[in-house]
Chain A
Amino acid sequence: MAQLILDGVVKHFGKIEALRGIDFEVQDGEFFVILGPSAAGKTTTLRAIAGLEKLDSGRIVFDGVDMAGIPVQQRGIAMVFQSFALYPHLTTEQNLAYPLREQKMARRDIKLRVQEIAEMLGITHTLTRKPASLSGGEQQRLAIGRAIIRQPELLLLDEPLTNLDAKLRHDMRAEFKRLHRELGMTMIYATPDQLEALSMGERVGVIIDGKIVQIDTPADLYDAPYDRDVARLVGDPPMNLIPGTVRRNGGGPSLELPFLHVPEADLRNSLAPFEAGTELIFGVHPQDLKLATNGETEASFDAEIAITEPQGDITILDLKAASEVLQMVVPEAEGALHGAGEEIRVRFNPRDGRLFLKDSGVLVV
């Protein structure tokens, strides 16, 4: 059992509060992703788990044991650093063997194990070379190899793909999933990239300003972000957030958006708890906006195309509707028919939208 519990973990660097009470649990064998913008505390969280940072308060419990007094060397945790942190003066072979040598493993066994890991990661041809002469992808594989070679119970990965090019990132995402399946070890993966988080994580914890604000499955995270900040982080492009005001004139309550009036009956949530004049935020994914054809029954509004961003299979349209800037995603074939400056009509089902409170930014449920 390699269950990990973080309970109210606080860490300061001088006057800066890096972690402001981190709580989460990771189950044995789970692939847990920590998603957050840069400087949110992802790296500090991982370093705290590894034992490289002293906690100011809170507990980290691993395998039922409080880690407080246990030095880094004895935690049985491995880590892949963002910079890879390879030993520059050692060859690939020596880099891989290093953790095993520290465990006083027999020389023969080390050789076998190094060979095995090198084959698994496809870096056998680099064994006698030093890190500086390896490509980015090879360095990355070496960093992973060095971390998994002693079969740790828990593997921490700190933005391991940030330093790689786009093609390699895609391959490595699949590689990580495969490794996780094959090795069955618990993994905690920190990333600022929502795509990595959604595609790899079994559960995703979103960290913002040193606090975990939401822990959910990727689907739930995308569907029902806890607040405005999470909504801005998840999805590509992220959710459109449109200011709205609750109106109660005659025929039942409704939500007034700058470019559209939406009756309560069309919305997912009831507007009953809100007084007239309450300001809310209406969030809708760019993928849920469609180009309108004639005779549609859904809500629709006029917008002007500001920029078109063709991406091959899809096109992202940047729209201006009233005073609002919105984004929508259309298939390439449709996008090709329209250009910047053109007026179009956009439809959507208001039921796909989500409401957030204006002040706290929290999702209305």
Chain B
Amino acid sequence: MARRREIGKAGWRRTAVMAVISFIYFFPVLWIILTAFKSHTDALATPPKFLFTPTLENFVGVFSRTYQRGGEAIDTKFDLFFFNSIFIAGTSVLIALIIGTLAAYAFSRWPLKGNDLYMFIILTTRMLPPIIVIIPIFLMFRVTGLSGSYVGIILLYTAFNLPFTIWMMKSFFDEIPTEVEDAARVDGSSETKIFFKICLPQVKAGIAATAVFGLILTWNEYLFALLLTGIDTRTVPVAMASTIGGDIGVRWGLLAAIETLFLIPVVLVTFLLQNQLLRGVTFGTIKR
């Protein structure tokens, strides 16, 4: 059993030092969040302002704003883009998890001749910079008509997530002792049942960790989303980039507001899974 962690055991001085270091690391994020609540003039002020009157105008502006002075406020469709980001990332991570977990279990428990070679080949797909394959993929999407569709970008992200999912999940399956499965066999369980009732529950933490990493990876992806999504399937990173420019230059407050909103889902998921995540990331580092 894990040793109980005593709260405050590190003492005040160490806690203070850690707080300072954490603050330094967190400062850029904090600055973005602060900027999101500033008016355009406050955001551009030199020296930078720490005390200001907070405003929500940037957040309103994310969803509808005027593009010309005195013009009418127009819907920016950002609600759709947020939906797209969540839908595309969520679905592709889910599909990758389903396929990847099954594959990883097979690689771990029913190894093929040349198992390691297959694992290596799977990994090679992540070895080259994605930009190298962008032109062939772009052409493939044009020919198959996947360009601009949800199916297309979800398939692509699933393919991106798979190698990583398989490798991570395999290591989690490798960690759990096969004797437990043998015990289930002796107790009368079928192979399907062993996978679902015995193995999956044991790698729950691993699934959570893999899901979060995959989600962050997909959530922030820009390059492929830029080239392969259409107007209606555009994700937030792409839409965010397209707000730069316009009549009053870069609207830092607006960008910061989008980013702040963009952070929320990932923070939320990570927070919800954090207990599992800690176990998942440190899985197998100590003998239980």
Residue B187, interface by CB 8 Å = yes
Q: Do A85 and B183 touch across chains, with their CB atoms under 8 A apart? A: yes
Beta-carbon contact of B183 and A133 below 8 Å: no
Q: Are A52 and B180 in contact (CB under 8 A)?
A: no
Question: Can you give 9 A-B contacts (C-beta < 8 A)?
Answer: A73-B186, A73-B190, A79-B182, A79-B186, A88-B180, A89-B204, A98-B184, A102-B189, A132-B288
Interface of B is mostly: helix
Interface residues of A in 67-120 (CB under 8 A from B): 72-74, 77-79, 81-83, 85-89, 98-99, 102-103
Indicate whether B14 reaches chain A with its CB closer than 8 angstroms.
no
- Of residues 172 to 199 in B, which have CB atoms within 8 Å of A's CB atoms? 177, 179-180, 182-190, 193, 198
Verify B189–A52 contact, CB threshold 8 A.
Answer: no
Main secondary structure of the interface of A (DSSP, over half): mixed
Q: Does A187 contact B (CB under 8 A)?
A: no
Given contacts A83-B177, A132-B288, contact A52 B182 (CB under 8 A): yes
- Asked, given contacts A73-B190, A85-B180, whether A52 binds B185 with beta carbons under 8 Å apart, the answer is yes
List of B residues within 8 angstroms of A102 by Cβ:
187-189, 193
Mark each residue of chain A from 42 to 78: 1 if its CB lies under 8 Å from any CB of chain B, else 0.
Answer: 0000010010100000000000000000001110011
Instruction: Pick the contact of A73: B177, B188, B201, B204 (CB < 8 A).
Output: B188
Binding site for A on B (CB under 8 A): 1, 177, 179-180, 182-190, 193, 198, 201-202, 204, 288
Q: What residues of chain A have their CB less than 8 Å away from a CB belonging to chain B?
A: 47, 50, 52, 72-74, 77-79, 81-83, 85-89, 98-99, 102-103, 132-133, 146
Q: Which of A74, A78, A102, A132 has the most CB of B within 10 A?
A: A102
Inter-chain contacts of A99 with B (CB < 8 A): 187-188
Given A85-B179, A85-B180: A73 and B1 within 8 A (CB)?
no
Q: A98-B187, A132-B1 are in contact. Are A87 and B198 (CB under 8 A)?
A: yes
Chain B residues with CB below 8 A from A78, complex form: 186-187
Q: Which residues of B contact A133 (CB under 8 A)?
A: 1
Query: B189 — which chain A residues lie within 8 A by C-beta?
Result: 73, 102
List, in ascending order, chain B residues with CB within 8 A of A146's CB.
183, 187
Pair B1/A81 contact, Cβ less than 8 Å:
no
Provide the residues of chain B in CB contact with A89, threshold 8 Å. Answer: 201-202, 204
Residues of B within 8 A of A74 (CB): 188
A269 to B74, CA, bound (A): 111
Known: A52-B182, A132-B1, A132-B288. A85 touches B177 (CB 8 A): yes
CB neighbours of B182 from chain A (8 A): 47, 50, 52, 79, 81, 85
A-B contact sample (12 more), CB < 8 A, given A50-B186, A52-B186, A132-B288: A73-B185, A73-B188, A73-B189, A79-B183, A81-B182, A83-B179, A85-B180, A86-B180, A88-B180, A88-B202, A89-B204, A102-B189
Instruction: Determine the chain B residues whose CB is within 8 A of the CB of A103 once the complex forms.
Output: 188
Looking at A85, A99, A103, the one whose CB has the most chain B CB atoms below 10 A away is A85
Closest residue on chain B to residue A149 by CB atoms:
B187
Closest 10 A/B residue pairs (Cβ): A102-B188, A85-B183, A89-B201, A85-B179, A99-B187, A72-B185, A73-B188, A85-B180, A79-B186, A81-B179
What is the CA–CA distance of A78 and B204 in the complex, to the nearest angstrom? 28
